[in-house]
Structure 1
């Protein structure tokens, strides 16, 4: 399965680490991919941090910076806005560092009369912010969100993610997002395949969520692997699934030798 693979795309939360701890086999997996001469790219739906913050965290956890690259749904959302809604005014839900990333990228952020509203994983969310967001959604302003994950896995258990906030907005306004940018949309993975000059048959997608990571890989038509180190449990797997299943990255490394 791993012969002639040039691009390994991995989820982070629940796949490579959990909270502030690397999962079994994670560092060995990164080293193995590097020794193959292939690229390792972390594609995370978690938009509560910037690429630089993720790189800093991985290095702190002991992963050499030359072994990987990182792409987030926040970056993908910025790219989507610039390509599809250039020079539009945005009301944004985001943590301060991601808000600065949007501004640095040339996105005009406003508190009143936006052309569209954008929801990322805002761990600084307040009632005032969500109330204003819902007001704009009720007025029919186009609604963009970075990803649909309902929960984010942590060492202490799952915590509410953007999908939970989407449900809140829908319950209040009757509207769901007009655009969901991150996984499972195949476009985000196909974009990485192009950016890293790879081909679908040379690409592997690995993650722990059936409805985002695995669905994304299947939609894009690449080799897809589910790991049981995060959200998905063995009783959630259908009979004869169209993807491979491993306990964790440690088991994958063993099969690559």
Structure 2
């Protein structure tokens, strides 16, 4: 976690581990309200100094091509491109463009202040503007979480470990309605037939998260008949086992580690 040196308040996170003889940054984020104040630059400078003191020869990371702001920050810090992943988006055979997904845009107090198309929000986030998402964990009596792996065809976080259920809250949609919809779409489960509970709302103002998140728990001894377009497989892991896997370098969707840490005392 990144802390302000003066006040000690959390302003973001930087998570790295050993990989290929050096260090690799798996997660690096400054909370939107603290962006543009030099925290990211200072964190990278501190990490570089630590690597130099310990004789670490290189530091690596991954950044999406559309994230121009982050790429510029890394270039100024001395990072160089060593490989480029390219993708061609093939339009549907009927010639129709992908359907747009409109979301409510909210401020620091979770008040709706406008609407934004999903990709526009993540491609060019605006300071002080957030979106709403839901996440859920399927938990059995042994305290294990059903953790799926995203398909490699996913546009974001392909092949990564994921929450049991996750998705954006659409414009004008409630958190609970989004939870019910995403559970049906991703797991082929009807929430009316499930034992579930709401763990509450988590704010990016109070934790290093990317959005306002309502988190739910689904109690089940059975693995869901998941949608193969979303997930390629899954396994049961305790929160500690999941965190250990991520720390060992198993790639994970953004916010998964943070949510597992925030909720692990209640995921039993």
TM-score computed with the length of structure 2 as normaliser: 0.32
Pick the structure with more strand per residue. 2
Pick the structure with more helix per residue. 1
**Bigger-Rg structure (1/2):** 2
TM-score computed with the length of structure 1 as normaliser: 0.33
